[in-house]
Structure 1
């Protein structure tokens, strides 16, 4: 979690803010599997770090965004299970039940086959249909897909700041608030587009470390520590808080994080759309 002295959550920010997207570099993806010497799955990059310039329509200030996407690996995933322990219940409550195409097809075929088998048994026995069993089989299609290290994607963002965020003063605090507003507006757009396709997505509030839309768990998500584990950037301890050092921007950066279980291809399209279009929040 980055240094932040704002008491309100990013989700309460001005919903009417809009921004322009201007491309500065081209996105690329990779799907290589990474394992440690001990054979334990470690974080892997599925969308390489890419920079974009975002500008709010009602502001003359532009911010440089760096966005990348990663599979968390098993160690980080175990920590995230305590950040989002109510993931499944939230998905079912919100109707977020979509599966990747292959998994969805398999799940539906299995469900229909089980229903047909149950009905055949009923006909053969010349008995009343087992309605409870048939409904149970149909419910398989409505269950939320399990969150696993293989389908969870951590979207790591950085914004370049004019102020050195290792310094605590009015100028740096005001800029933190502005960067928080930019991330929150951008994150709301990305999450709404992903959820419209039936997949789960959420972001953590950089000020508190807790999920914005999913019920919070027993743990918070520290943006700085998470970014360091995903991208191997160096960190500095300032008082009781840790600051991450960007390889190009140094400590003039603001990290924040978004999470989703949507397919990588869909995420790439949504991200590109968020960069290129004019949107209302």
Structure 2
């Protein structure tokens, strides 16, 4: 009988990207928070393996998200839609390789493809636990990003796949979304720079 292979992964800098409209995206891979480790069956009751990795996707918003206004709700909807499109493709790719994978709907905290558990996932609490970003509470909890302030939209993917499988899927789908490396984006957008 062979033992399961144990993967190690040291947290490195996040994958830094820029969207077609100039907003930044940061993606990082982490081991699950202690809350998720303790409550997996309450969030994802059908998963037979523990969550091995959590992918945090932070999108820069055009507006601070702490207020309630029509244009802010439209922005949240736009960012959610972009994450869902990105996340569903990444999750499908990982599932096709035989891994458990799902994304959490930022709107309600429940998994998108798996059966709902008895409690929702709290993306803001996970980002705070994993990245240490402060949170402002009001009508809803808002993360304060060190560079973007409250103009940040957090989202979460989870998978039993190791980072060696997750990272290529993230990068491939980022390219499909039209997200670019910020240094290349800057070079292409500077007037007079030859391509």
TM-score bracket, shorter-length normalisation: 0.7 to 0.9
For residues 32-47 of structure 1, what are the structure 2 equivalents within 5 Å? 32=10, 45=11, 47=12
User: Larger Cα Rg: Structure 1 or Structure 2?
Assistant: 1
Structure 2 partner of 1:50: 15
- TM-score, length of structure 1 as denominator length: 0.57
CA distance in 1, matches of 2:152, 2:35: 26
**1:163–1:209 distance in 2 versus 1, CA, 3 Å:** same
1:221 aligns to 2:186 (yes or no): no
* Unmatched segments (≥5 aa) in structure 2: 1-7, 179-195
Contact 2:33 2:126 in 1 (8 A): no
CA drift of 1:269 comes to 1.1
Structure 2 partner of 1:84: 44
1:31 aligns to 2:9 (yes or no): yes
CA drift of 1:63 comes to 3.8
1:153 aligns to 2:53 (yes or no): yes
1:261 aligns to 2:164 (yes or no): no
Structure 1 partner of 2:144: 245
- TM-score, length of structure 2 as denominator length: 0.81
* Unmatched segments (≥5 aa) in structure 1: 1-29, 33-44, 56-60, 89-145
State the number of aligned residues. Answer: 171
1:211 aligns to 2:111 (yes or no): yes
Cα-Cα RMSD: 1.8
For residues 62-101 of structure 1, what are the structure 2 equivalents within 5 Å? 62-88=22-48
Among candidates 255, 259, 271, match of residue 170 of structure 2? 271
CA distance in 1, matches of 2:16, 2:34: 28
CA distance in 1, matches of 2:92, 2:34: 27
Contact 1:80 1:221 in 2 (8 A): no
